[in-house]
């Protein structure tokens, strides 16, 4: 699994994600966010069975263009992409099963 340990401050544009082939999960959140920290074990559990999955964690904040371009209002938001197109979205996931169900949508 290609995963970043914490949220990175790298500045990417929406077009960068639209060009990605295959399956990708974009996670927008913030290292100081309690909801984001609480979701990490759930995300890790759900992703354990998907070792080839591209998982990109981007630090979001008020006024950040990437989060706004995806309409993100709450953290963490997981955007499930297949060949650069959004196939599913989860906001503040509450269980690994919920994440696994969204993964099934992009893997199908």
Strands 85-91 and 23-29: unpaired
Is the confidence at residue 2, as pLDDT, over 50?
A: no
Higher pLDDT, residue 108 or 41? 41
* Domains and their CATH numbers in the chain: 14-107 (3.40.30.10)
Q: Which two structure tokens, joined as six digits, stand for 96?
A: 């690994």
User: Exposed, middle or buried by CB within 10 Å (0-12, 13-18, 19+), for 77?
Assistant: buried
Q: Per-residue confidence at 4, pLDDT binned at 50, 70, 90?
A: low
Q: How far apart are CA 84 and CA 19, in angstroms?
A: 6
Condensed to tens digits (0 to 9), the pLDDT of residues 58-100 reads 999 877 899 999 999 999 999 999 999 999 999 999 999 999 9
**How many residues does the structure list for the chain?**
108
pLDDT at 63 (0 to 100):
79
């Amino acid at each position: 699994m290609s995963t970043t340990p914490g949220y990175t401050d790298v500045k990417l544009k929406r077009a960068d994600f639209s060009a990605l082939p295959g399956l990708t999960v974009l996670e927008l959140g913030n290292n100081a966010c309690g909801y984001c920290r609480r979701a990490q074990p759930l995300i890790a559990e759900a992703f354990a069975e998907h070792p080839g999955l591209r998982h990109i964690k981007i630090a979001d904040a008020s006024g950040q263009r990437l989060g706004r371009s995806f309409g993100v209002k709450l953290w963490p938001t997981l955007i499930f992409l297949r060949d650069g197109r959004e196939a599913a979205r989860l906001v503040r996931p509450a269980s690994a099963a919920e994440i696994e169900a969204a993964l099934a949508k992009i893997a199908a």
